[in-house]
Amino acid sequence: MPLQVSLLVDLSEKDRSRRHAVLCVFKVEYRVWNPFRSKIASAILGGIDNCHIVPGAKVLYLGAASGTTVSHVSDIVGPTGVVYAVEFSHRSGRDLVNLAKKRTNIVPIIEDARHPAKYRMLVSMVDVIFADVAQPDQSRIVALNAHSYLKVGGHFMISIKANCIDSTAEPAVVFAKEVKKLQEEKFRPAEQISLEPYERDHAVVVGSYRTVKKKA
């Protein structure tokens, strides 16, 4: 919902006899971020400590779809940050490309995230990888991308949909197995939260990459 905020600025310090008042009008846009449509929003409302997506961050976003959540990440990282948004569906990719025409900090990449070398010309080293591809091999996809593009000491955030990985096992068992796979790929998971009540049988795991454990 756009809101107009008025600010009165007095520029008349030099010549107090000739006062000039300047009215500056800023347009502030407030956007609704729906936790039922965005894993990052549901993780934040669920109380995640730190999603590491901050102003100025370079974010590699895997599973961008048509860009709903990407647009919010674009707002957060702001003009000094970048969102490299990877999506392999051409249909969703069309919306993503249109979104990037209006938001210059989004780089749309219509490729399969299983082949990060295909977008090596477009992506620089990033601070954060966020993944929401909902694929059985998602941990491997995140690892392939991290080994190519995530800075040492960078962070990852992955949304895990249990029944995409194993619909016969208990979600808690699936999440534990995925965490183990991530640990084997030099990730250090620091936090895991359930996305209930916004998403059923989903968890978000956040952590760091190639960091060494501090000695006590």
Q: How far apart are CA 81 and CA 106, in angstroms?
A: 9
Q: Does 134 bind ligand SAM (CB under 6 A)?
A: yes
From residue 12, alpha-carbon distances to 8, 20, 25, 26 in Å are 12, 6, 19, 21
Q: Does 97 bind ligand SAM (CB under 6 A)?
A: no
Q: How far is the CB of 114 from ligand SAM (least distance, A)?
A: 5
- Position with the least CB separation from ligand SAM: 63
Q: Does 133 bind ligand SAM (CB under 6 A)?
A: yes
Site for ligand SAM in 61-80 (CB under 6 A): 63, 65, 68-69
Q: Does 113 bind ligand SAM (CB under 6 A)?
A: yes
**x-or-dash pattern for ligand SAM, window 36-65, by CB under 6 A?**
--xx-----------------------x-x
Pick from 54, 89, 164, 189: which binds ligand SAM (CB under 6 A)? 89
Is the separation of the CB atoms in 55 and 80 below 8 Å?
yes
Pick from 54, 88, 94, 189: which binds ligand SAM (CB under 6 A)? 88
- 114 C-beta neighbours (distance < 10 Å), count: 15
Is the separation of the CB atoms in 145 and 130 below 8 Å?
no
**Of 91 and 101, CB closest to ligand SAM:** 91
Residue 209 backbone dihedrals phi, psi, to 5 degrees: -125, 130
Q: How far apart are CA 146 and CA 209, in angstroms?
A: 8
Structure tokens at 198: 């916004």
Q: Does 148 bind ligand SAM (CB under 6 A)?
A: no
Number of residues that bind ligand SAM (CB under 6 A): 18
Pick from 109, 118, 26, 105: which is nearest to 72 by CA? Answer: 105
Burial 161-178, CB ≥16 within 10 A → b, else e: bbebbeeeeebeebbeeb
Stretch that binds ligand SAM, among 77-85, 87-95, 175-183, 193-201 (CB under 6 A): 87-95
The residue ranges that bind ligand SAM (CB under 6 A) are: 38-39, 63, 65, 68-69, 86-89, 92, 112-114, 132-135
